């Protein structure tokens, strides 16, 4: 999945046909530009980056996890996983019958300190850990309970299914700094501004302004991750004011850019 001339590295997808235990761990050090082709699993996947930013792309939209957040990927969902910079990733594969509480949505979850320590401990266990009334099985039970209660955050970018509207969104994703107005887009698409506004809301669940702001803030993660200054990141994703960018960034992520990557 090469983008913008970046050297990319295709990752190998595990050739598992079934999970040996209710929970399976995968620990990876990913190079910059790593990606997987579109694929699906017969089990649920939860992946988060200790460092770096993970991106998961599906037909419904894109999901991003900065450090210490994770992405929940339902079973049977076609998806791609990408990283722009180096990342330390921890993935948990969960049998679908052991997380019946989960719905079928891909979403971004906050990894609490307790969940992080449980995942760290579980990743040290053998693949075929003891079951029954063992210490290992009890740890798995507690970890599954914690995964069920992780708070959801809005680090997703829904995509429309409407063909012409999808083309508009794709153009904005390629050039997040564009300042084309909704009225100008409506003229290009041969419709009224009100009609386009209603269509955008129906297809994405967000207003055009809200969608573009979220897209720009999520796009800025790549620039910040590469070590660019906050000002350069703001300008690169379409903000004229650094202070406005920082305020919007904190509104979405709950941290300023400096605070987020300091974690």
- Looking at the structure, tell me whether residues 165 and 141 fall in a common domain: no
Of the candidates 77, 69, 54, the one whose C-alpha atom is nearest the C-alpha of residue 108 is 69
| 166 plus 130 within the same structural domain | no
Q: Are residues 77 and 143 in the same domain?
A: yes
Same domain, 191 and 244: yes
Q: Which one of 134, 153, 172 terminates a domain?
A: 153
pLDDT at 33 over 80: no
The answer to whether the Cα torsion of 50, 51, 56, 62 is positive or negative is positive
17 against 115, higher pLDDT: 115
Please report whether residue 183 resides in a domain.
yes
Give the domain CATH number at 144: 2.60.120.280
Is pLDDT above 50 for 260?
A: yes
Containing structural domain, residue 70: 9-153
Q: Which of 135, 153, 171 is the last residue of a domain?
A: 153
Q: Token digits for 69?
A: 């957040």
**Same domain flag for 14 and 82:** yes
Q: Is residue 206 domain-shared with residue 131, that is, in the same domain?
A: no
Q: What is the mean pLDDT of residues 236-241?
A: 92
Average pLDDT over residues 146-160: 91
Residues 138, 207 within the same domain: no
pLDDT tens digit sequence for 59-115 = 889 999 888 899 999 999 999 988 877 778 899 999 999 988 888 899 999 999 999
Is the pLDDT at 35 greater than 90, yes or no? no
Closest alpha carbon to 113 in 65, 58, 162, 68: 68
Q: Answer whether residue 166 is part of any domain.
A: yes
What is the pLDDT at residue 8?
54
pLDDT of residue 5: 45
Model confidence over 186-196: pLDDT tens digits?
A: 998 889 999 99
137, part of any domain: yes
Mean pLDDT for 9-15 is 74
Specify whether 105 is located in the same domain as 80: yes
- If residue 27 lies in a helix (H) or strand (E), which one and from where to where? strand 23-30
Q: Is residue 219 part of a domain?
A: yes
If you average pLDDT over residues 139-151, what whole number do you get?
95
115 and 239: one domain? no
Whether 125 and 187 map to the same domain: the answer is: no
**Each residue of 176-230: pLDDT tens digit?**
988 888 899 899 888 999 999 999 999 999 999 999 999 999 999 888 888 889 9
Tell me what the pLDDT averaged over the chain comes to.
88
In this structure, the answer to whether residues 84 and 143 fall within a common structural domain is yes
Tell me what percent of the residues of the chain surpass a pLDDT of 70.
96
Same domain, 196 and 149: no
H helix or E strand, kind and range, residue 156: strand 156-158
């Amino acid at each position: 999945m090469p983008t913008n001339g970046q050297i990319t590295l295709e990752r190998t997808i595990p050739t598992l046909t079934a999970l040996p235990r209710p929970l399976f761990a995968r620990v990876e050090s990913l190079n910059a530009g790593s990606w997987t082709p579109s694929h699906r699993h017969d089990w649920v996947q939860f992946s988060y980056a200790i460092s770096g930013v993970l991106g998961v792309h599906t037909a419904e939209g894109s999901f991003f996890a900065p450090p210490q957040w994770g992405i929940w990927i339902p079973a049977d969902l076609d998806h791609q996983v990408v990283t722009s910079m180096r990342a330390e990733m921890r993935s948990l594969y969960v049998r679908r019958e052991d997380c019946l509480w989960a719905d079928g949505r891909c979403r971004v979850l906050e990894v609490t300190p307790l969940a992080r320590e449980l995942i760290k401990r579980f990743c040290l266990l053998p693949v075929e850990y003891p079951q029954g009334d063992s210490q290992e099985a009890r740890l798995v039970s507690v970890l599954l309970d914690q995964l069920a209660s992780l708070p959801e955050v809005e680090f997703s970018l829904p995509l429309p299914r409407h063909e012409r509207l999808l083309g508009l969104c794709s153009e904005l994703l390629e050039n997040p700094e564009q300042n084309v107005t909704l009225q100008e887009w409506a003229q290009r698409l041969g419709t009224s501004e009100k009609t386009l506004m209603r269509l955008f809301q129906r297809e994405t669940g967000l207003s055009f302004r809200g969608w573009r702001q979220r897209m720009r803030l999520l796009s800025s993660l790549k620039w910040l991750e590469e070590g660019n200054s906050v000002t350069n990141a703001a300008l690169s994703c379409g903000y004229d004011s650094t202070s406005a960018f920082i305020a919007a960034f904190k509104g979405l992520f709950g941290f300023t850019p400096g605070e987020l990557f300091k974690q």
